[in-house]
Amino acid sequence: MRFATYEHHHRARLAVVDDEGVLFPVPGVRSLTELLGRGGGLPALLDAGAASFDVPRGPHVSQVRLLPPLRPASVRDFVTFEEHVEGVRRSVEGTGGVPEQWYAAPTFYFTNPHAVHGHGDRIPVPPGSAVLDFELEVGAVIGREGRDLTPEQARDHIVGYTVFNDWSARDLQSAEMKVGLGPCKGKDTATTLGPYLVTADELEPYRDADGFLRLALTAEVNGEKVGEDLLSNMSWTFEEMVAYASRGTRVVPGDVLGSGTCGNGGCLAELWGRRGERTPPPLKPGDTVTLTVEGLGTLTNTVVPGVEPVPLPAGRRRSRERP
């Protein structure tokens, strides 16, 4: 099933989307976040979706504003594509290759769950940035709480997947990572999820013998293809990522785990690192980014001007006086 959160006549609703793009509102629930919070995982989600076909149909997707499928409880963004690491390290950090430590575990960072946008939303340039980039990813959505999970157990905790665009201010990212932290403000302004949540059962036909989802991914800027890859080029499966995320802590309904950016042009910075120049150029107001993932749909956003940063002083060199 495909679930959409949408706004129509100033009211937000959750619906199942049929093959013709008709929305069937889910009865008795206001949002996917609320539905997932009730627990029950994928079976409960499918039951709720099935009940929507017993009520009057809603509008067509072309008649509504699509919102993010859910408001995440948290967003962990992983980095699981070796090819992406090679190119971006060269572009952002000025170094080459893949650090040996990268192979030890599926590394992630937490990004901002309060800056999530939907399909068709306008994305402002982050304050103070002149080097904006997109990142083509897939997000897995958690539907059941778990802790210290094995990969086999983790599969039952994933309810579905969505297209994930991790907008990145590369100039801010490069500067703050020199401090040994981050990315922070370089990733803080926007993440786009959508257009739908596609339930995990829908993607099982794409699973290969090693447990990876073999989905085609394509990135376009202003209608020109700049990247394409296969999701199965990840170095860890989503189940392994969930298991790692749950180690020593909890994953909860509504958590989103990003695959990390795919290779072969899944973002501009990778191309810049490989080519030694910023070609194609950084995104600017008016540019439209279109990301397509087989089985999940197409996510489109247009960049708009942002606000000027509020000035702050440089860090003071203090006397280190003691009482």
5-19 pLDDT, tens digit each: 999 999 999 999 999
Q: Give how far the C-alpha of residue 176 lies from the chain's centroid of Cα atoms, to the nearest Å.
A: 22
Helix, strand, coil percentages, rounded to 5, for the chain: 25, 30, 45
The pLDDT assigned to 89 comes to 85
CA dist 199 and 49 (Å) reads 10
The pLDDT assigned to 296 comes to 98
**Of all helices (H) and strands (E), which one includes residue 46?**
helix 41-51
93 pLDDT more than 90 = no
Beta-bridged to residue 116, according to DSSP, are 191
| pLDDT mean across residues, the chain | 96
Model confidence at 181, in pLDDT bands (50, 70, 90)? confident
45 pLDDT more than 80 = yes
Amino acid at 39: G
> pLDDT per residue over 131-163, tens digit each?
999 999 999 999 999 999 999 999 999 999 999
Class of domain 75-304: alpha beta
Per-domain residue ranges of the chain: 2-67, 75-304
CA dist 87 and 270 (Å) reads 4
Residues 6+ apart with CB under 8 A from 202: 1, 2, 160, 295
270 pLDDT more than 80 = yes
The pLDDT assigned to 178 comes to 84
Locate the DSSP E strands across 107-189: 108-111, 116-117, 122-124, 132-133, 136-142, 146-147, 158-166, 168-169
- b/e sequence 69-98, b meaning 16+ C-beta within 10 Å: bbbbbbbbbbbbbebbbbbbbbbbeeeeee
> pLDDT per residue over 192-217, tens digit each?
999 999 999 999 999 999 999 999 99
227 pLDDT more than 80 = yes
123 pLDDT more than 80 = yes
Model confidence at 177, in pLDDT bands (50, 70, 90)? confident
Q: Against a cut of 0.85, is the pTM above it?
A: yes
90 pLDDT more than 90 = no
Model confidence at 261, in pLDDT bands (50, 70, 90)? very high
